[in-house]
């Protein structure tokens, strides 16, 4: 039952993120504050090892130990530039896919579909109550790329 609740909650966040992305032109990576997060400019992407573990556990429906949640949230909060947090989560997600040898398939881990893992990773800032750029002003949110099927 809780997975259905989580799924619908994530879907709602995704719809809000889509609206934000369209309004703020978030798909354009040529300029803007997110361009500061480009590794080509010397930015060091955070590995987010705690978030990596948390996303895998959540995706398969396992209980996330408090220490793993705390580590993930601290690692995300330690990224000083809030514009870079979603980019680092996206990089983390791509590395998980690469580690697991995920290509175009639907299942990442047994019982874990790619779409669910993507939404789970995108919602980490909301779960951790760590701010990302969000025009609604509540200080937290879901990474905009969750709304786009061609990302991750």
- What's the CATH code of the domain at 56? 1.10.110.10
**Is the separation of the CB atoms in 58 and 120 below 8 Å?**
yes
Q: How many domains does the chain have?
A: 1
Residue 49: C-alpha distances to residues 11, 56, 81, 83, 99 (Å): 25, 11, 18, 19, 13
pLDDT for 23: 43
Q: Tell me, what's the pLDDT at 127?
A: 94
pTM, rounded to two decimals:
0.70
Residues of the chain with pLDDT under 70: 1-35, 103-105, 135-140, 147-152
Boundaries of domain holding 105: 33-146
The pLDDT of residue 83 is 87
Q: Is residue 67 part of a domain?
A: yes
* 81 Rama class: left (phi>0) / alpha (psi -120 to 50) / beta: beta
Domain presence at residue 3 = no
Contact (CB, 8 A) for 75 and 99: no
């Amino acid at each position: 039952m809780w997975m259905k609740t989580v799924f619908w909650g994530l879907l709602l966040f995704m719809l809000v993120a889509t609206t934000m992305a369209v309004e703020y032109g978030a798909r354009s990576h040529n300029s803007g504050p997110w361009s500061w997060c480009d590794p080509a400019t010397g930015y060091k992407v955070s590995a987010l090892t705690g978030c990596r573990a948390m996303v895998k556990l959540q995706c398969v429906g396992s209980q996330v130990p408090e220490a793993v949640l705390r580590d993930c949230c601290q690692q995300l909060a330690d990224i000083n530039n809030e514009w870079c947090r979603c980019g680092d989560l996206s990089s983390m997600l791509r590395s998980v896919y690469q580690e697991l040898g995920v290509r175009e398939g639907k299942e990442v881990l047994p019982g874990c579909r790619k779409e669910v893992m993507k939404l789970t990773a995108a919602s980490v800032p909301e779960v951790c109550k760590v701010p990302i750029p969000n025009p609604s002003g509540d200080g937290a949110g879901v990474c905009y790329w969750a709304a786009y099927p061609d990302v991750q």
